[in-house]
Amino acid sequence: MGASTSTGQRTQRAQRADARRNVEAILDAATRGLRRDPNVSIADIAAEAGVGRITLYGHFKTRADLVEAVLARTIGHAHAVFDGLDLSGDPVEALATLVTSSWRVIEQHRGVLGAAARELGHERIRDVHDDILTRVGHLVERGQAEGVFRDDLPGSWLVTVILTLMHTAAQDVDAGRLAAADAGLYLVRTLVAALTPPGSIVPVR
Binding residues (CB under 8 A) for a copy of itself: these are 117-118, 121-123, 126, 150, 152-153, 156-157, 160-161, 164-165, 168, 171-172, 175, 177-178, 186, 189-190, 193-205
- Nearest approach in angstroms of CB 201 to a copy of itself is 6
- Nearest approach in angstroms of CB 96 to a copy of itself is 13
Contact (CB, 8 A) for 140 and 80: no
Q: How far apart are CA 102 and CA 199, in angstroms?
A: 29
The closest alpha carbon to 159, from 74, 81, 98, belongs to 98
The closest alpha carbon to 183, from 172, 199, 196, 194, belongs to 172
In the complex with a copy of itself, the residue whose CB is nearer, 109 or 150, is 150
In the complex with a copy of itself, the residue whose CB is nearer, 19 or 179, is 179
Other residues' Cβ atoms within 10 Å of the Cβ of residue 76: 11
Contact (CB, 8 A) for 63 and 87: no
- Residues in the chain, how many? 205
- Nearest approach in angstroms of CB 91 to a copy of itself is 15
The closest alpha carbon to 31, from 61, 73, 60, 80, belongs to 73
Q: How far apart are CA 64 and CA 60, in angstroms?
A: 8
In the complex with a copy of itself, the residue whose CB is nearer, 66 or 158, is 158
- Nearest approach in angstroms of CB 103 to a copy of itself is 14
The closest alpha carbon to 112, from 136, 82, 79, 76, belongs to 76
- Nearest approach in angstroms of CB 142 to a copy of itself is 19
In the complex with a copy of itself, the residue whose CB is nearer, 3 or 204, is 204
In the complex with a copy of itself, the residue whose CB is nearer, 98 or 166, is 166
